[in-house]
Copies of this chain bind each other. A is one copy, B any other.
């Protein structure tokens, strides 16, 4: 029998307890033994919870109980979650988490610590909710040199973009709708400003390219500046606007990662990804392009990914190898400003001025006044584009994916 403690009884933590309880027999069969929920650590009281016997308020009880094999960290953030994760690993317990912020910022050192202690630190649920991506990337695609990963990594922004284009809502209205439906927080910044997607592309880059990429090394742009006018022009050009996290192996060996809205072609499988769904596209030298699609968040999808990690640890107790990557640094990460692509530009300076400045095909659309938009013919860096745009009153500049 393997004993589990859950830290934090919020949405994901309570989902983990539910999935463990609801699938007890099938989990035991697949994990070659019973997995028992022994503790739930939370400072709050939950008098109506069916897991009454499990609640404790003091993490030290878990830390000091040699019968606890696996700690599930669903606290979130990098404060107490980091402290408890370190202490759990130090105490020789494997840790499973859905905490993308902690993995993105401290995953490198926590993995090293886990290896040192002969235990595991697993985080399948930290990217894409329940969508299998960490294990496929690290195991199934292990024989590939990964060339690029990009994806729709944040369901909230994808919902907002979908509602804007489908219902003709401006950004603010679509955001309020997302908040009402529980898809966006009252302070929506982590989602709409791209920070959540940034953490996730860091984790994917760590695994795919084998060296640590820190969120502060990743230029991050959200969707606040995307307008209905941009969406109309994009539609007219057979394209959709999606917020992508993107990580690329550069020819010089560096890893380049960034988060920004992109125009993508209707024929791209990512274009059909709507509402709160996520999708991640991976390009390997042998496999070509593969894509993973599903619900990127939500209580039960995320919890099911956490429990799958718990089962993996339980099944291979003492044997499972850590997911390791190397330290990063300023020399190994960067180069987003060198990535060339075609660009969508909307400008107030009139069609001729815009076309003469950057060259490209003007788009049909509902611009007002002297407004015009185009997609450049030539691929260029953002710096090269900005030089050409020096005399143009640009209103929107969005990268076109390949």
- Which residues on A are within 8 Å of B, measured CB to CB? 19, 23, 26-27, 29-32, 124, 130-132, 135-136, 139-145, 210, 267, 269, 272-273, 284-295, 298, 300-301, 303-308, 310-312, 315-316, 319, 321
Q: Which residues of B contact A144 (CB under 8 A)?
A: 23, 304
Q: Is the CB of A132 within 8 A of B301?
A: no
Output the least CB separation between A207 and chain B (Å).
Answer: 11
State the oligomeric state as a number of copies.
Answer: 2
Q: Which residues of B contact A294 (CB under 8 A)?
A: 287-291
Docked Cα-Cα span, A284 to B345, in Å, equals 42
Q: Is the CB of A141 within 8 A of B304?
A: yes
Q: Which residues of B contact A300 (CB under 8 A)?
A: 285-287
Q: With CB as the reference atom, state the residue of chain B lying closest to A267.
A: B272
Q: With CB as the reference atom, state the residue of chain B lying closest to A321.
A: B315
Q: With CB as the reference atom, state the residue of chain B lying closest to A210.
A: B29
Q: Is the CB of A140 within 8 A of B136?
A: yes
Q: Is the CB of A141 within 8 A of B132?
A: yes
Q: Which residues of B contact A29 (CB under 8 A)?
A: 210
Interface residue from B27, B287, B312 paired with A130 (Cβ < 8 Å): B287
Q: With CB as the reference atom, state the residue of chain B lying closest to A315.
A: B321
Q: Which residues of B contact A301 (CB under 8 A)?
A: 286-288
User: What are 23 residue pairs bridging A and B, where the CB atoms are less than 8 Å apart in the complex?
Assistant: A23-B143, A32-B321, A124-B140, A130-B284, A132-B290, A135-B139, A136-B136, A140-B308, A141-B304, A142-B308, A143-B305, A143-B306, A144-B304, A269-B273, A285-B300, A286-B304, A287-B294, A290-B293, A291-B292, A291-B293, A292-B293, A293-B293, A315-B321
